Structure 1
Amino acid sequence: MEKWNELCYILSENLPSNTSEQLFELKVIQAFEKLGWSEYNNEIIVRESVQLGASNRISPDLLFKSKELGNLFIVEVKKPSFEIDNLTFKGQLSSYMGIMRVELGILIGNKIQIFLDGKFFQENGIVLIDEIEFKRENEKGLKFVQLFIKGNYNKEIIENYAQEKIQELKEIEDFKSLKKQLCSENYTEKIIDYLKSDLLKEYDDKIIEKVFQELEVKIESKNKFSPIKNHEKRRAQKYNSIENFNNSNGRLPVGKYVRKTFNELVNSNLIDRNEVERLQRGDYSKLTFDIQFPFLAKENSTYYEKTRYWKNPYRINGELYFVCSQWYEVPANNDRPYYEDWLEKIKNRNPKVELMINQNLR
């Protein structure tokens, strides 16, 4: 892990905020030399010019080679202040990989993305197999070091790793799909039909129908957090009706309120990295806000769904995040007090920010 922590220092922690792409490229070369690769020994080729046709040339940023195997993989370097979740960057890398006939490519900017030729997955183009953020003690970072340290580099090991990652992603998607199916009204009807059919062995169908008229059968997520429920009871006296929510104090509807106040926090740089990490967790978001989805999600996150998040993202610490749009403000389901509690804690870190937010809400 020490080697990965050193890479974090070189590629993230020790960089000035206005680092140029040229300087960052030198830092990337330095990082790979820490993993045993040598520019001096022609194992790292910087912007090798490749002729295309009569008049065109390309120059990938970094090409990694070995005397025995030839071209191994390409690294494209992007300015750290850029968001590398960009189809243009991916397309550029894909073109270089095809022209140079390499099956592995890496984008390095504000994080690391590893791509493999889609032929290994019966897909066109290149496939993102992993994304690694520059955080110390990151298990993914440790795996990156293990895969790309020169002494251990092995194409077959990387391909097996890629297959494992793709399988993980597939399992996540299958999980989401199955959960959605089981919670659907259509599946609830199937369950009711099955129960009625089974009960016919002992009871008359008229009795069964009467009983089901007084019952509600459904499948829902297990989100039983007693601290939240107790907290809800303590705050319930403040919000007795929908009229109180929206009219008595001329307050903003909860959705607009969340967007406006959160925007102020972001503009004031008051959301630190640790809080950003917590806001991307479903369990933390449920406990803190009583919402069913992570408060923040990146576009490529397994949690991100367009229908669940507002379309305009926020840029926090150089990365784009979408904010959950599923906020409710009715007596049976009121998310406002939870958000206000969280907002108060964040604002208390800086009284000047609290004053500014309160003024803007008037």
Structure 2
Amino acid sequence: MEKWNELCYMLSENIPSNMSEQLFELKVIQAFEKLGWSEYNNEIIVRESIQVGASNRISPDLVLKSKELGNLFVVEVKKPSFEIDNLTFKGQLSSYMGIMRVDVGILIGNKIQLFLDGRFFKENGIILIDEIDFERDNNKGLNFVKLFSKENYNREKIENYAKEKTLESKEIEGFKKLKNQLLSGNYNEKIVTYLKTELLKEYNENIIDKVFQILEVKIANNSNIFPLINHERKRIKKYNTFENVDISTKKLPIGQYVRKTFNDLVSTNSIDKSEIERLQQGSYSKLTFDIQFPFLAKENSKYYEKIRYWKNPYHIDGEFYFVTSQWYEVPANNDRPYYEEWLNKMKR
């Protein structure tokens, strides 16, 4: 884990937020040399100009290779202030992987994304197999070091890892789908019908109907259970905080709804310190809210960017926290159900 923590320091903690892509690329080269690869020995090829067709040329940022096997994987480097969840970046990496005839590709910017050729999954293009935040003691980071250290590099291990991550992702999606299906309300009637059928073996129908008139059977969230799938006061700065803003939650857009209801939780001290810590973690926020940034960030956090967080912070236990503004409510990306599930858990 020490080597991964060192990479976090090199590629995230010890760089300015406005670092240029060219300087960040040098940091990435140093990081791979920490993993045993050598630019001097031509194992890290930087911006090699490659002829494509009669008149075109390409220059992948980094190509990692060995004398025995040739090209192993491509690395595309993006400015660390950019969000690399970008189809253009993915398309660029996919093109380079195809032209260089490699199956593995890596995007590195504000985090790391690992891709594998889709043919291993009988799909077209390249497939995102894992996303790794620059967080110390991150088990995903430890796996990255194991997979991409020169002494351990083995494509078959990467393929097996990809299959495990794909299965894990399907389990998470299956869990969410089944949970939402059971909470839809249709299954409450089915449960009642089943219970009545079973009870008819011991009681008459009239008694059963009278009992169910005063009883309610429903499936509800267990606020005490989160399924785990492979997972001092400071000087107070003067801010115009969001506290005491009067907004009705009725039919509010998702952004206003989050700000208002989170303010209610803060004002009633409904969130404990451990939850505040978890809300500052990218992985926890992704799993809990299906969002791409940590729910909370301090101004001096590596995650904090003005364009990603609302300008008015919340004052919690003597410190100021900003809440991410990246919330969506469209058919293809609806964050409201995830937030409401968490909100109900905090209220109980």
Structure 2 counterparts to residues 315-354 of structure 1, below 5 A: 316-318=303-305, 343-345=314-316, 348-349=318-319
Q: Which AA in structure 1 matches 2:152?
A: N
1:183, CA displacement in angstroms? 2.1
Change (3 A) 1:250 1:71: closer
1:105, CA displacement in angstroms? 0.3
1:65, CA displacement in angstroms? 0.9
Q: Which AA in structure 1 matches 2:160?
A: N
Aligned to 1:41: 41
8 A Cα contact 2:80 2:109, kept in partner: yes
Give the secondary structure class of the aligned counterpart of 2:173: helix
Q: Does 1:106 align with 2:106?
A: yes
Give deviations 1:315-353, integer Å, cap 9, x for gaps. 952498699xxxxxxxxxxxxxxxxxx94425x436xx9
Higher mean alpha-carbon deviation, 204-213 vs 17-26, is at 204-213
Give deviations 1:247-288, integer Å, cap 9, x for gaps. xx993225647538989xxxxxxxxxx98762268xxxxxxx
Aligned to 1:138: 138
Report the Cα distance in structure 2 between the residues aligned to 1:164 and 1:53, rounded to whole angstroms. 38
Give the secondary structure class of the aligned counterpart of 1:94: helix
Structure 2 counterparts to residues 190-339 of structure 1, below 5 A: 190-223=190-223, 251-254=246-249, 256=256, 259=259, 278-279=278-279, 297-298=285-286, 301=287, 303-304=289-290, 316-318=303-305
Give the secondary structure class of the aligned counterpart of 1:195: helix
Aligned to 2:6: 6
**Superposition RMSD on alpha carbons, in Å?**
3.4
Report the Cα distance in structure 2 between the residues aligned to 1:156 and 1:150, rounded to whole angstroms. 14
1:181, CA displacement in angstroms? 2.0
Change (3 A) 1:160 1:302: farther
Report the Cα distance in structure 2 between the residues aligned to 1:319 and 1:141, rounded to whole angstroms. 27
What is the aligned length?
A: 278
Give the secondary structure class of the aligned counterpart of 1:159: helix
Report the Cα distance in structure 2 between the residues aligned to 1:206 and 1:5, rounded to whole angstroms. 68
Aligned to 1:182: 182
Aligned to 1:92: 92
Report the Cα distance in structure 2 between the residues aligned to 1:141 and 1:82, rounded to whole angstroms. 20
1:170, CA displacement in angstroms? 0.9
Q: Which AA in structure 1 matches 2:290?
A: Y
TM-score normalised to the size of structure 1?
0.69
8 A Cα contact 2:50 2:57, kept in partner: yes
Give the secondary structure class of the aligned counterpart of 1:129: strand
Give the secondary structure class of the aligned counterpart of 1:107: strand
% identity of equivalent residues: 69
8 A Cα contact 1:113 1:128, kept in partner: yes
Give deviations 1:86-123, integer Å, cap 9, x for gaps. 11111111111111111000000111111111111222
Report the Cα distance in structure 2 between the residues aligned to 1:17 and 1:251, rounded to whole angstroms. 35
Q: Which AA in structure 1 matches 2:31?
A: A
Give the secondary structure class of the aligned counterpart of 2:79: coil
Give deviations 1:174-227, integer Å, cap 9, x for gaps. 1112222222211111111111111111222222222212211011111159xx
CA radius of gyration, larger in: 1
Q: Which has the higher helix share?
A: 1
Report the Cα distance in structure 2 between the residues aligned to 1:319 and 1:106, rounded to whole angstroms. 27
1:151, CA displacement in angstroms? 0.7
The answer for unaligned runs of 5 or more in structure 2 is: 226-243, 264-273, 296-301, 323-348
8 A Cα contact 1:18 1:81, kept in partner: yes
Q: Which AA in structure 2 matches 1:153?
A: Y
8 A Cα contact 1:38 1:44, kept in partner: yes
Give the secondary structure class of the aligned counterpart of 1:79: coil
Aligned to 2:333: none
8 A Cα contact 2:247 2:260, kept in partner: no
Change (3 A) 1:153 1:67: same
Q: Which AA in structure 2 matches 1:58?
A: I
Report the Cα distance in structure 1 between the residues aligned to 2:95 and 2:82, rounded to whole angstroms. 20
Report the Cα distance in structure 2 between the residues aligned to 1:320 and 1:68, rounded to whole angstroms. 46
